[in-house]
Amino acid sequence: MGALAKILTLCCVLGLTLPQTLAEKDWWRTAQLYQIYPRSFKDSDGDGVGDLNGVTQQLAYLKEIGITATWLSPIFTSPMADFGYDVANLTEIDPLFGTMEDFDALVARAKQLDIKIILDFVPNHTSDECDWFIRSAAGEEEYKDFYVWHTGKVVNGIRQPPTSWISVFRGATWTWHEGRQAYYLHQFLPKQPDLNYRNPKVVEAMKDVLRFWLRKGASGFRIDAVPHVFEVAADEDGNWPDEPRNEGVDDPEDYEYFQHIYTTNQPETIDLVYQFRKVIEEIDEELGGDDRILLSEAYAPLDILMQYYGNSTHNGSHVPFNFELLANIDFDSDAYHYAQLIHNWLDNLPEGQVANWVLGNHDRSRIGSRLGADRIDATNMLILGLPGIAVNYQGEEIGMTDVFISWSDTVDPQACQSNEQEFERLTRDPVRTPFQWSDEQSGGFSDSATTWLPLADDYKLVNVKRERGIPLSHLNIHKQLRALRDEPTYKQGDVTIQAIGPNVLAFKRSLAGQKSYITVINLNDDVESVNLDTIFTSISSQLQYVVVNDKSVRRKNDLTYANSVLLMPKEAVVLSTV
């Protein structure tokens, strides 16, 4: 347990209140994080695309659902080839989203409401329309090595790219540039050239971007595509090795065709995150106030993810996103699998670090579609009930599901780079549709009847306004779970996780001198009876229902014997000791 956590526990046991500053400075340890995809959250000017003023308007909603910080997908100037993940000017707001004044107003209003604003930082690449790239392509001395350039190999008189590497969005990672007469590297779209992190000027320039936004009031960053930032160093002749094949994948354009041992998770990446953390701490020092934080996006093996947290000499990312459940659980996963994946993170967590729980984002099929609509409350019980930081993607609190979008309406480049047969496996449009605020036109998202992606058909049933009025709606259950997180047991307590057979997952949160809470989830459709007495130590013989869902026959405040808790199909509840 870290020093602060020990002090907090002690104060709590002794019934003391901590000085505000100490308690709040590392606010992030129990934060309720919420990802906003600004294009789809709230459109304030009627053009069918969400914007910053829309976010500002809806900050009161974030307050209503108890959010402590929100991270925004990119809002910077961009030709939108990858909907903002192709940044053309790293220190400007795209006019589609508003102006710098709008950003200032957002930060000011968020501050009043005590909600932190976290920005998306895209270090791996810029847009090809970024001034740095234009100057690099022109061979300007200062910028010529800002990106990864190579003249290629000549085989039988024919020019070829330097390696056979494949881009995440299909096809070669190398694109020929007529002006520069060389290939440039792009791990994503040709319109997203990779920056060259072996050039110290790039590292400095990107650190300045962090400084810029921190001084403008950002409370930290979500760092995009971290594993891709470095490629293996070139040999002394300036060449790179090809990657080995992945047997079983036959499509040579598919990203999975190769094992990405030279283009992802290079050791230098970890150190770069430590360097970014230093910048954060430098600004904490300069400006004071609450800790500013880093969230890092890496789909990587667990031992690498744990290194992102830091080591004995360096601090790293506060929140290396925990995608264990997101990436490995599917519709048929049993309770043992869930328990094992939860343990994977907790058991490997470095001393003093905090866990985090993520089940969805703007890149992955929505929880309700992936795991089943009647498991939405269950997953929110995991995200909000397990120790540490809860992360929700917009719409998870009301149970939004994927929206079918036809090939002709598809706009996501990851899908558009493929074909009519493959696009459904690749498209991310279905999880990026407009947020469902109400049953009004365009779901209350926009005054425009047409929106950049179509609205879900179910918006009249699944929306904030309606769910506010339904006691056991996803939204109201989410609010109850959020309220529990203010209890000392949830803030500082231990956790014990147990699969009770393949269908039932349970975990207990406990803290000396406080009530214990037990979450019990029936993943499947059999009625189950579980004996919690034999599974969890020191619980009372009777337990009280604190949160029930719409599958429950019991009501909030009802009592049950711990040795025979009956669960309806897909029922998910929180019980407390009495």
Place of tokens 């029922």: 571
- Minimum distance of Mg ion from residue 335's CB (angstroms): 39
Q: Which does 363 bind (CB under 5 to 8 A by kind): ligand NOJ, Mg ion, none?
A: ligand NOJ
Place of tokens 């930081």: 389
Among residues 26, 128, 194, 528, the one that binds Mg ion under rule CB under 5 A: 194
| Region binding Mg ion by CB under 5 A among candidate stretches 109-117, 222-230, 268-276, 434-442 | 222-230
Active site annotation includes 420: no
Q: Which does 82 bind (CB under 5 to 8 A by kind): ligand NOJ, Mg ion, none?
A: ligand NOJ
Catalytic residue among 94, 243, 297, 467: 297
Q: Which residues have CB under 8 Å from 82's CB, separation 6+?
A: 188, 189, 191, 192, 413
Query: What's the farthest any 2 CA atoms get from each other in the chain?
Result: 82
CA dihedral 515, 521, 343, 259 (to 10 degrees): -150
A 10 A CB-CB count for 336 gives 14
Among residues 42, 191, 228, 491, the one that binds Mg ion under rule CB under 5 A: 228
Q: Binding to ligand NOJ (CB under 6 A): which residues in 206-245?
A: 224-225
Q: Is 463 in the site for Mg ion (CB under 5 A)?
A: no
Instruction: Report the C-alpha gap between 370 and 360 in whole angstroms.
Output: 10
Q: Is 82 in the site for ligand NOJ (CB under 6 A)?
A: yes
Active site annotation includes 297: yes
A 10 A CB-CB count for 297 gives 22
Reduced 3-state DSSP string for 9-33 = HHHHHCCCCCCHHHHHHCHHHHCEE
- Minimum distance of ligand NOJ from residue 295's CB (angstroms): 12
- Minimum distance of ligand NOJ from residue 243's CB (angstroms): 19
Write out the H or E segment, with its range, that includes residue 517.
Answer: strand 517-522
Q: Which does 375 bind (CB under 5 to 8 A by kind): ligand NOJ, Mg ion, none?
A: none
- Minimum distance of ligand NOJ from residue 321's CB (angstroms): 10
Q: Is 122 in the site for ligand NOJ (CB under 6 A)?
A: yes
Catalytic residue among 224, 396, 397, 412: 224
Residue among 30 and 35 whose Cβ is closer to ligand NOJ: 35
* Residues 137 and 179: beta-carbon distance below 8 Å: yes
Instruction: Report the C-alpha gap between 243 and 166 in whole angstroms.
Output: 9
Q: Helices (DSSP H) in 291-375: which residue ranges?
A: 302-308, 324-328, 335-348, 367-370
Residue among 305 and 547 whose Cβ is closer to ligand NOJ: 305
Q: Which does 194 bind (CB under 5 to 8 A by kind): Mg ion, ligand NOJ, none?
A: Mg ion
* Residues 428 and 363: beta-carbon distance below 8 Å: yes
Residue (of 82, 168, 87, 167) closest to 132 by Cα position? 87
- Minimum distance of ligand NOJ from residue 81's CB (angstroms): 10
Q: Is 429 in the site for ligand NOJ (CB under 6 A)?
A: no
For strand 517-522 and strand 572-577, is the pairing parallel, antiparallel, or unpaired? antiparallel
Q: Which does 364 bind (CB under 5 to 8 A by kind): ligand NOJ, Mg ion, none?
A: none
Q: Is 124 in the site for Mg ion (CB under 5 A)?
A: yes
**Amino acid present at 44:** S
Residue among 192 and 510 whose Cβ is closer to Mg ion: 192
Q: Which does 260 bind (CB under 5 to 8 A by kind): ligand NOJ, Mg ion, none?
A: none
Q: Is 71 in the site for ligand NOJ (CB under 6 A)?
A: no
Q: Which residues pair with 147 in a beta bridge?
A: 195
Q: Tokens representing 452?
A: 């950049």
Residue among 220 and 385 whose Cβ is closer to ligand NOJ: 220
Q: Helices (DSSP H) in 91-147: which residue ranges?
A: 100-112, 131-137
Q: Is 85 in the site for ligand NOJ (CB under 6 A)?
A: yes
Among residues 71, 97, 183, 188, the one that binds ligand NOJ under rule CB under 6 A: 188
Q: Is 297 in the site for Mg ion (CB under 5 A)?
A: no
In angstroms, the Cα distances linking 411 to 172, 229, 404, 423, 452 are 21, 26, 13, 10, 9
Which residue's Cβ lies closest to ligand NOJ? 85
- Minimum distance of ligand NOJ from residue 223's CB (angstroms): 10
Q: Binding to ligand NOJ (CB under 6 A): which residues in 330-369?
A: 362-363
Q: Is 337 in the site for Mg ion (CB under 5 A)?
A: no
Q: Which residues have CB under 8 Å from 407's CB, separation 6+?
A: 420, 423
**Tally of residues, the chain:** 578
| Region binding Mg ion by CB under 5 A among candidate stretches 120-128, 169-177, 403-411, 474-482 | 120-128
Name the residues annotated as catalytic. Answer: 224, 297
- Site of interaction with ligand NOJ (CB under 6 A): 82, 85, 122, 188, 224-225, 362-363
- Site of interaction with Mg ion (CB under 5 A): 124, 194, 228-229
